[in-house]
Amino acid sequence: MSSHNLDVYMPILILIGIGIALVFGAILFGKLIRPHNPSRLKEQAYECGEDPVGVAWSNFNVRFYVVSLIFIIFDVESALMFPVASVFKKFNEIGRGGIILCTFIVFVMILVSGVIYCWRKGDLDWVKSFHLNLDESSEKNTQEAS
């Protein structure tokens, strides 16, 4: 009977298979009935009617990376918090909830201190230059002078 329990993963595979088949099937089916007359202008990237200049794969601002960095730390912490959260009730019923609560709060607080650091340092500000102008204008002036 041990193999039967894996059957619960069947719907996932079937649904993923259906998804892939649907995408390819619809596009292949559409190939039979839709027009196909490409031209150079059609295949150009849309840039409001102008000829596109250069490639779009240029450098982006680092703030995107900082956001995703904080995200991944939270994501990993959530992977640790989920099993602890799901045994919280069980431990609470046998009277050991306090210990888990303390563990949990310490864990979250360490995480929060990191977020507070990033907040204070302005990593969570999307428009940082604006704040720099307001708060540290004197410092910025010296930078420009140097």
Contacts (CB under 8 A) with other proteins, residues 36-65: 36-38, 40, 42-48, 52, 55-65
At what angle are helices 137-145 and 128-135 packed, to 10 degrees? Answer: 100
Is 141 an interacting residue with respect to other proteins (CB under 8 A)? no
Is 135 an interacting residue with respect to other proteins (CB under 8 A)? no
Is 144 an interacting residue with respect to other proteins (CB under 8 A)? no
CA distances from 48 to 14, 58, 105 (A): 42, 19, 53
Is 145 an interacting residue with respect to other proteins (CB under 8 A)? no
The three-state secondary structure class of 7 is helix
Number of residues that bind other proteins (CB under 8 A): 112
Scanning the structure block, which residue is given the tokens 């079937």? 14
Stretch 75-114 residues interacting with other proteins (CB under 8 A): 75-93, 97-101, 103-108, 110-114
CA distances from 1 to 8, 10, 11, 64 (A): 13, 16, 19, 49
Q: How far is the CB of 13 from other proteins (least distance, A)?
A: 7
Q: How far is the CB of 139 from other proteins (least distance, A)?
A: 10
